[in-house]
Amino acid sequence: MRTIKYNVKCSEVITLCELLNKIGYQLPVTDSFTLTVDTTVKDFQLKNNLVVDGVVGIKTWSKLYELQPNLTDYNSKFLSEQDLIDFSNLYNVDLATVKAVNQVESSGKGFLLSGKPKILFEGHIFWKELEKRGINPNSVLSGNEDILYKNWTKAHYIGGEGEYSRLEKAISINKDAALSSASWGCFQIMGFHATNIGYSSVTEFVDKMYLSEREHLIALGKFLEVHTANLIDLLKDKNWDRFAYYYNGAGYKSNKYDEKLASAYRKYSN
């Protein structure tokens, strides 16, 4: 893990927040090293006989990981080199391309430190999923405004374990609709895709997501294979622009997803 400190914004801050929460702190999970995160880090350093400077370097990282319970079980869920090789062979896509997609399109890791798959609950999708099942969202809206809304907004995202509290609240209204309204794992595949990509139900899909990042990669392959744009062929052709458009949406250029894929491919090709 790289050294991070106050005012940086990166994925390592998410891991930092999760590690701190796992040992008893109560931080919002964020990728921004805020003043609250800085204060918490300094408290942790003070209590663990470290230099109290708010800088999370090798000593602070080491102590954080040393204190984590059940970390061996957590590590067993990680994606391996062989998993990527198997994917490459199955879809006849060269390994450098597979690694590029994994680097750019993966959320960095597929599991929280609790061992649960990473999710993001989408209230606007929940609205649509309830309607599909003949439930009028307005009839259950009162008190559920944080999990049920007609138009997309990020205002209600909590991140990390907090997303599971939102999911559980939605499950109390309708389980299948709730599971279908979250994106799951490394590649954040939406639950509502489950039956379209070959799972018998959204419940089976979710059960698989709990097993390992290998299962997340398998789900990605199923999704790419059945997509109407034939995303596997776009990968074979190294058509980063079209692949990014269909995978990331029309705004892919603003985040330079096509450029990131091309750059990652060059790195792994060498």
Q: Compute the distance between CA of residue 91 and CA of residue 240 in angstroms, rounded to an integer.
A: 17
In a 3-state reduction of DSSP, which class is residue 127?
A: helix
Domain for residue 24, yes or no? yes
Query: Does the residue 198 lie in any domain?
Result: no
Asked if the structure places residue 39 within a domain, the reply is yes
Question: pLDDT class for 11, splitting at 50, 70, 90?
Answer: confident
Residue 138 CB partners (closer than 8 Å, separation 6+): none
Strand order in the sheet with 189-190: 119-121, 182-184, 189-190
> Does residue 88 lie within any of the structural domains?
no
Helix (H, G, I), strand (E, B) or coil at 4: strand
Q: Could you tell me the CATH number of the domain that includes residue 17?
A: 1.10.101
| Lowest model confidence (mean pLDDT) among 34-43, 44-53, 153-162, 189-198 | 153-162
**Position 238 in a domain:** no
3-state SS, one letter per residue, for 103-122: HHHCCCCCECCCCCECEEEC
CA distance 83 to 35: 39
198: amino acid identity, one letter: G
What is the residue range of 44's domain?
Answer: 11-69
Instruction: Decide: 122 and 181 in contact? Cβ < 8 Å.
Output: yes
Number of domains present in the structure of the chain: 1
Instruction: Give the tokens for residue 137.
Output: 């969202």
**6 falls within a domain:** no
pLDDT tens profile 86-132: 999 999 999 999 999 999 998 778 988 778 999 999 999 999 999 99
Domain presence at residue 174 = no
Digit-coded pLDDT (tens) for 175-219: 999 999 999 999 999 999 999 999 999 999 999 999 999 999 999
pTM of the model: 0.79
Q: Which helix (H) or strand (E) holds 237?
A: none
